């Protein structure tokens, strides 16, 4: 049982480049979340999904897109990276109901 | 945008001291309140999920209480140990399943 995994662990991008971050969970969880973590800002929700094929905007969705084509995977896309998107990105998943979230190890992204 | 506030921002205590932190959140659209422990260079790990007004949860030396009517939760650590050093996060979960995290309380326990 790997839990929640994230790929890649670290990436450097140039402004304007695109990339996709992959989150995978093997716990059959319905809900999946993408957060960014910035100094002094805590964790902020970018997008989330309540089930396969569904996505919704969180607190800071601008500049990001997501897809949940398979229940176990939640992809976060940056179409045209900007320096303001330099951050640590965390994925999380959970079961339905008032259940705890399980977090992935994080992806550190640097946009130059 | 919904405001979840945690206080204090940071705390240094001596080994053996007991301590507590506060999480304040809106009293409307409440679904659940989560507490997480976040060690440096790791991912947040769950401590408690609380849903009912008056809930009290306990895990070892750590406990938490919840007041949904006035919008606050307290986390208590009894007899702090150096391994308790971490950032403690709370998250308000709305009825729409969105999570709103506070900025955390950073605890350092001095041996």
Of A31, A35, A40, the CB nearest to B97: A31
Residue of A nearest to B48 (CA): A100
Q: In what order do the strands lie in the sheet with B62-67?
A: B5-7, B19-24, B72-77, B62-67, B56-59
| B91 CB neighbour count, 10 Å cutoff | 25
| A36 CB neighbour count, 10 Å cutoff | 23
pLDDT, tens digit, 9 for 90 and up, residues B14-24 = 999 999 999 99
Query: Is the Cβ–Cβ distance between A100 and B49 less than 8 Å?
Result: yes
Q: Give the contacts of B70 (CB within 8 A, at least 6 positions apart).
A: B27
Residues belonging to chain B with any Cβ–Cβ distance to chain A shorter than 8 Å: 1, 31-32, 34, 36, 42-46, 49, 51, 89, 91, 93, 97-104
Mean pLDDT, residues B60-82 taken together: 96
With CB atoms and an 8 Å threshold, state whether B34 touches A100. yes
CB-side neighbour CA atoms (13 Å) of B1: 10
Q: Per mean pLDDT, which range of A68-77, A81-90, A91-100 is the poorest?
A: A91-100
């Amino acid at each position: 049982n790997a839990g929640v995994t994230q790929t890649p662990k670290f990436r450097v991008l140039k402004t304007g480049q695109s990339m996709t971050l992959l989150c995978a969970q093997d716990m059959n969880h319905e809900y999946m979340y993408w957060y960014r973590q910035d100094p002094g800002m805590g964790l902020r929700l970018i997008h989330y999904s309540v089930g396969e094929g569904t996505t919704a905007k969180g607190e800071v969705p601008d500049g990001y897109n997501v897809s949940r084509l398979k229940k176990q995977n939640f992809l976060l896309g940056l179409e045209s990276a900007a320096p303001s998107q330099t951050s640590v990105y965390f994925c999380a998943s959970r079961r339905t109901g008032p259940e705890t979230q399980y977090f992935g190890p994080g992806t550190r992204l640097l946009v130059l | 945008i919904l405001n979840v506030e945690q206080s204090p921002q940071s705390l240094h205590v001596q080994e053996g001291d007991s301590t507590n932190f506060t999480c304040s959140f809106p009293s409307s659209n409440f679904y659940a309140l989560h507490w997480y422990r976040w060690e440096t260079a790791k991912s947040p790990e769950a401590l408690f999920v609380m849903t009912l007004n008056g809930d009290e949860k306990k895990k070892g030396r750590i406990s938490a209480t919840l007041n949904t009517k006035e919008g606050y939760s307290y986390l208590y650590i009894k007899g702090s140990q150096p391994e308790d050093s971490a950032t403690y996060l709370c998250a308000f979960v709305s009825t729409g399943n969105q999570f709103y995290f506070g900025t955390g309380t950073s605890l350092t326990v001095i041996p």
